[in-house]
Amino acid sequence: MLIFGIIFISTSFNPFQLGTALFGVFFEIIFGYIAFFAGDKIQFDKNHMYLIYRDGESQVELKNVIYVARQSITAVGLAKIKYLYDGKEYSTQFYPRYLSRAFKQFVDEVLEKNPNATVYSNLGL
């Protein structure tokens, strides 16, 4: 109700602006859910990366990871990983925790197993 009250007051009773603002709020809620809760989950150890989906899990050797990138428009950057699995190239995207050291540890493990992997980040890995 507070959001509606602020939008209602700020639009000066213009129904078009009110509708646009409500659509924007709805869009942000849906996008936030998709980006942070419906994305892929990734775990790793010294030798493998585990991709966890709703219907199962895939295991990829870290030596088969060929590309790791993290770009950011906002404070939370999207990470993209390309890897080889059964002779084909696949990719996945996810949002790593921003303040976690786990992503840097993952990159270090990948480079240890595959020194030829491409790593890119404008966030300073």
- The 3 state secondary structure assigned to 7-22 is HHHHCCCCHHHHHHHH
State the sign of the Cα–Cα–Cα–Cα dihedral 79, 98, 30, 28: negative
Pair 51, 60: CB distance under 8 Å: yes
* 103 CB-contact burial (10 Å; exposed 0-12 / middle 13-18 / buried 19+): buried
pLDDT at 48: 93
Coil, helix or strand at residue 7? helix
Q: Give 3-37 pLDDT, tens digit per residue.
A: 444 444 554 556 667 677 777 777 677 666 655 55
Domain segments of the chain: what residues? 2-36, 39-121
* CATH number 2.30.29.30 given to 39-121: yes
Give the residue-averaged pLDDT of 96-125. Answer: 81
Give the residue-averaged pLDDT of 82-103. Answer: 83
- pLDDT-derived band at 95 (thresholds 50, 70, 90) equals confident
Pair 48, 60: CB distance under 8 Å: yes
Task: Determine if the pTM surpasses 0.95.
Answer: no
Coil, helix or strand at residue 26? helix
pLDDT at 75 over 90: no
Pair 3, 10: CB distance under 8 Å: no
